[in-house]
Homo-oligomer: A and B are copies of this chain.
C-alpha cells in the first residue's frame, strides 16, 4: 500500500477493505502540481478527480461577469474535482488550482465505476461522499442566510484553522462572497476592537 494515510482517511468515511483500496491505487496516478498550476480547468471534461496528498487547492468558478468566486478550499486528504458537473456529466465550469506546490492522487471517474461493479463498499462510499458534500453546502447556505460577512469570516477561521497562512486574503474574500477591500476593512475593524 503506497498511501496508507489516505486509505485511513477514506476508510473513516465508509468501511473499505484494504484489498479494494489496493485496486484503486493501481488505477490512480500521482501528479505533482506547481504553485498556480491547474488540476482541472474550465471546459475540461469533469471526469477526473483527485485526493490531495500535499498542498492546498482552491475550486474557483468564474462567473458570466468575469468575477471569480471560490467554492471551496481543499487540503491534505480531501477530494478535489468538479463534483456537481461530474454528477451531471457536464464539462467542468470550475477551475481547481494549486495554491502551493502540491501532489494529488488522480482518478478517472469511470475507473471508480468499474470498482463499484466489483464491490459494494464503493457504492457505500460514494453515498457518504455525496452526503458529506451536501452537509458542507448546507452549512454554507445557512451562513449566507443568517450571518453577516464579519460573522462568516469568524466561522471560516474556526472551521478551517489549518488554512491559516496558506491561503491569500483575497481568496478568503472570494470565498465569503465579498471583495478584498471589504475583508481588509473587517479585519482592521476587528483588530482595533481587540486592543
Q: Interface residues, chain A, CB within 8 Å of chain B? A: 61, 63-65, 67, 69, 71, 83-84, 87-88, 120, 123-124, 126-127, 130-131, 133-135, 137-138, 140-142, 144-146, 177
Across-interface contacts of A135 in B (CB, < 8 A): 84, 87-88
Q: How far is the CA of A133 from the CA of B129 in the complex (A)?
A: 12
Residue A123 contacts which of B67, B71, B124, B142 (CB distance < 8 angstroms)? B124
Question: What are 11 A-B pairs with beta-carbon distances under 8 A?
Answer: A61-B142, A65-B146, A67-B146, A69-B146, A71-B145, A123-B123, A123-B127, A127-B127, A130-B134, A134-B134, A137-B138
Across-interface contacts of A127 in B (CB, < 8 A): 123, 126-127, 130
Closest chain B CB from A84 CB (angstroms)? 5
Most B CB within 10 A of own CB, among A61, A63, A124, A133: A133
Closest chain B CB from A67 CB (angstroms)? 7
A87 in contact with B146 given A124-B123, A141-B141 (CB within 8 Å): no
Q: How far is the CA of A137 from the CA of B84 in the complex (A)?
A: 10
Across-interface contacts of A138 in B (CB, < 8 A): 71, 83-84, 133, 137
Across-interface contacts of A137 in B (CB, < 8 A): 134, 137-138, 140-141
B145, A177: Cβ atoms under 8 Å?
yes
Residue A130 contacts which of B64, B130, B140, B142 (CB distance < 8 angstroms)? B130
Q: How far is the CA of A142 from the CA of B71 in the complex (A)?
A: 8
